[in-house]
Structure 1
Amino acid sequence: MADGSSPPKSKLIDVELDETIGRATPDVEHERAVAIFDLIEDNSFQPAGLEPQLLKLKLSIADKRLVFDIRDEAGETLVLHILSLTPFRRVIKDYFLICDSYYEAIRSSTPTQIEAIDMGRRGIHNDGSQTLMERLAGKIEVDMDTARRLFTLICALHWRS
C-alpha cells in the first residue's frame, strides 16, 4: 500500500467447539476457554478468496480431521477447510511430554533447568505453529502469533485429564 500500512485482514470474533470435539474435565475445559479467549483477543485470520471481514470459526472433528467451518458475522458458512491431524501427532505428543517435564521441573528443579526446559517447550510449540501455517497455506493466511494461538487450541483439544 502507498502509505506503508498493511492491507486490511479478516479477524475472528468468535470460536466455537462443535459437540464432535467432546467435553473434558473442568481443568481441560478451562484451558480450552483460555485458548479461545487468547485467539479471539488478537488474531489475523484471512481465508483465501474472501474479502476482509469479521468472522466466526466453528471447529469440529470428522474422521480424525479438524474441520474449520468459517462463517460470517450472521453465522452463515462461507468456506470449509479440512485438515488432517496426522502431521501434528508427533509434535503434539512431544509438546505434551515436554510440558509434563516442565511442570515437574517447576516443583523440583533449579531456575536454570526450568528455563532450559521452557526454551525447549517454546521451540516445540513454534514447530507446531509453523506446521500449522504450512498446512493452512493457500487456504487461510495467519501470522505466527495467530498460528501459535491456534496450535495451543489444537493441543487443548487433545488434552487429557
Structure 2
Amino acid sequence: MTSATSTPSSFRLCALSLDPPHASKTDSAQQREQGVVISDLLHNNIFVPVEHGGGPYQLVLALMDRYLRLSVKTEKGAHVLSHHLSLTSFRRLFRDYSLVCESFAAAAARLTPDRLEAIDMGPRAIHDEGSELLRERLKSKVEIDQQTGRRLFTLIHLLVSQTLPAGVD
C-alpha cells in the first residue's frame, strides 16, 4: 500500500510498501487494520535517516527469516539506506501483544466501555515498550518519534503474524 502524507517536513515517510505484498495471506480484519496503520503512519510521522539531508522518503518493509529488511529511498527513488533488523528481541513482545489483543477483542463483546478502557492499558503498555525497543534498535540508522515507532511496531507485528505459521515465534 502506498499513499501520500500531509506531514510538511522533509524528514517524513511519503510512501510505504510491503515486499512482497501480504494481502493474499490476510483476512479482511487484518487487511483493514494494516490499511489503517499505514494511512495513520503516512499522515503523521517523523523519519530521519542518520546523516541524510532530507526526503521525503519511501520505505519498503520485507520479512526475511527472523529479520526485517528496511529499504529507504527518497521520493524520487534515490537509495538512502538498507538495513536488516533482527526480530529476535521482539519475540516476547509480539507474543504478549497478540495475547492481550485477542483478550481485548474477546472482552469487547461483553464489557462496558469503562471496563474496556481499564483493560486497554495492557495492550498500550506493550505497544509503548515495542515502540521504544524499535526506536532504540534503529537509532544508528534512522530516528523516529514515539508515534511513528508505535505504528511501525503494529505493522511489523501484523507482518510477522501473517507470515509465520501458527505456533512459530
* TM-score normalized with structure 1 length: 0.87
Taking every aligned residue pair, what percent have the same amino acid on both sides? Answer: 39
Q: Is the 8 A contact 1:14 1:40 kept in 2?
A: yes
Match of 2:106 among 101, 104, 107: 104
* TM-score normalized with structure 2 length: 0.83
Ranges in structure 1 where 5+ consecutive residues have no aligned partner: 1-7
In the TM superposition, what are the counterparts of 1:89-128 in structure 2 within 5 Å?
Answer: 89-128=91-130
Shift in Å, 1:62: 1.9
Ranges in structure 2 where 5+ consecutive residues have no aligned partner: 1-8
Q: How far apart, in 2, do the equivalents of 1:42 and 1:127 lie?
A: 20
Q: 1:46 to 1:152 in 2, by over 3 A?
A: same
In the TM superposition, what are the counterparts of 1:6-155 in structure 2 within 5 Å?
Answer: 10-19=11-20, 23=24, 24-155=26-157
Of the two structures, which has the highest relative contact order with CA contacts closer than 8 Å and spacing of 6 or more?
Answer: 1
Give aligned pairs, total. 154
Select the structure of larger CA radius of gyration: 1
Shift in Å, 1:71: 0.5
Shift in Å, 1:20: 7.0
User: What do the CA deviations read for 1:27-84 (whole angstroms, capped 9, x no partner)?
Assistant: 2222212111111110000011111221000111223200110001122322101101
Q: How far apart, in 2, do the equivalents of 1:22 and 1:36 lie?
A: 13
CA RMSD of aligned residues (A): 1.9
Q: How far apart, in 1, do the equivalents of 2:23 and 2:65 lie?
A: 14
